[in-house]
Each structure stands twice: as structure tokens, then as C-alpha cells.
Amino acid sequence: MLNLSFGHQRWGAAIPEMFRDAFAASEGADEGEAIRGLVQDLISTTPKDDLLGYVAADGATVLGCIFFSRVTYENDPRQVFLMSPVAVKPDQQRTGIGQKLIGFGLENLRQKDVDYAVTYGDPAYYAKTGFQQITEAFARAPMPLSQPHGWLGQSLTDSDAPIVGPSRCVSAFDRPELW
């Protein structure tokens, strides 16, 4: 049974380890370990109001997880969150869990009055959940992008006006090699 829930706090090491296993399976052991470290860092260093995490679980087993962290645009009053990373346990992939987690997370962001979601990834996959390619003229990324075609966004309100000025991510993402 798929049980989507708020909050990543009570799952402890199971979450970083699921991310490690998912990325190791698709991109190799080193990438798996790097993502485990990133997720650990995100959980332990991000202020509470700047991080939202949602978990898909079957009993005590983590099937998938998604994080959203704040991107601050000092010159714009809107609340913007970065959706990253997301992963599904390798033996559960391609069963719809990833898209359900994204939809569940975005709906919860809406309820928390978040205005805009950005992400950085495969445009074809994220288009399935409403993301479109955006330019940095529309919304500046926090770091120089090595793959600008992967910069994606979607409005969570009726407004789709460009977001003003430079941006800042949370410290776990404040590393140029991640972008």
C-alpha cells in the first residue's frame, strides 16, 4: 500500500539510504554516495521553515521521497521553493510513485501559500507534472547552470509574472558542482 505522508523527520537514516540506492542503481556508486551526503546535509543544516519533505511508505519501508527547499529572491515578495532531489526505491520505479510524490508535494506547497516551484532536471519527465522550461530572464538560478535547458518552473497561483532579481538557495545546495 502506498501511504503518502508529510514530514521526513521520523525516518532517520532510511531516507538518505533510499536516495543512495536509487542514484547508485541509475548512475553508479559514487553518485549514490554523493546524493546520500547531500540529503543528509539538507536534513541536518536547513532551517525548519525552509525545507519540506514528503515520503511514500509501505509500513516501515520508504518507497520514495521528495524534498522542497526555499529559494530566496530578496527583491520579490513571492515564496519560491526548489524541488530537489526526488527518488523512488529501485524496485518500485515506473509504478507512478514519483509522479504521485511530485503532485502530492506541489499540492501541499500550494496549501502553504508557496507561489512558485522551480526544479533542475529532465524536461521530458517533469513536464508530466506541470513543469515548463524557463529562462534565467524569467527567474534567476542561485548558481550558474551547466545545463540551462534543465531549468524548469511552474506557478502555484494564478500569476505567471517573472520573478525579480538574484536568488539564493539553502546551504546544502550552495555548491557550484550541483548546478
Positions touching ligand COA (CB under 6 A) are: 22-23, 26, 84-88, 93-99, 121-122, 124-125, 128
Q: Helix 29-45 crosses helix 14-27 at what angle (to 10 degrees)?
A: 150
Query: Residue 87 or residue 114: which is nearer to ligand COA going by CB?
Result: 87
Buried b or exposed e, range 6-33, using 16+ CB within 10 angstroms: eebeebeeebbbbbbbbbbbeeeeeebe
Smallest separation (angstroms) from ligand COA to the CB of 174:
17
Query: Residue 5 or residue 157: which is nearer to ligand COA going by CB?
Result: 5
**Encoded amino acid at 144, one letter:** P
Instruction: Identify which of 119, 120, 117, 121 has the alpha carbon closest to the alpha carbon of residue 155.
Output: 117
| Cell of residue 13, nine digits | 537514516
Smallest separation (angstroms) from ligand COA to the CB of 142:
16
Smallest separation (angstroms) from ligand COA to the CB of 145:
15
Query: Residue 96 or residue 162: which is nearer to ligand COA going by CB?
Result: 96
| Cell of residue 40, nine digits | 543528509
Instruction: Identify which of 48, 51, 49, 64 has the alpha carbon closest to the alpha carbon of residue 103.
Output: 64
Smallest separation (angstroms) from ligand COA to the CB of 162:
25
Q: By the 8 A CB rule, do 8 and 67 touch?
A: yes
Query: Residue 112 or residue 128: which is nearer to ligand COA going by CB?
Result: 128
Which residue has the CB atom at the shortest distance from ligand COA?
Answer: 98
Query: Residue 92 or residue 167: which is nearer to ligand COA going by CB?
Result: 92
Smallest separation (angstroms) from ligand COA to the CB of 68:
12
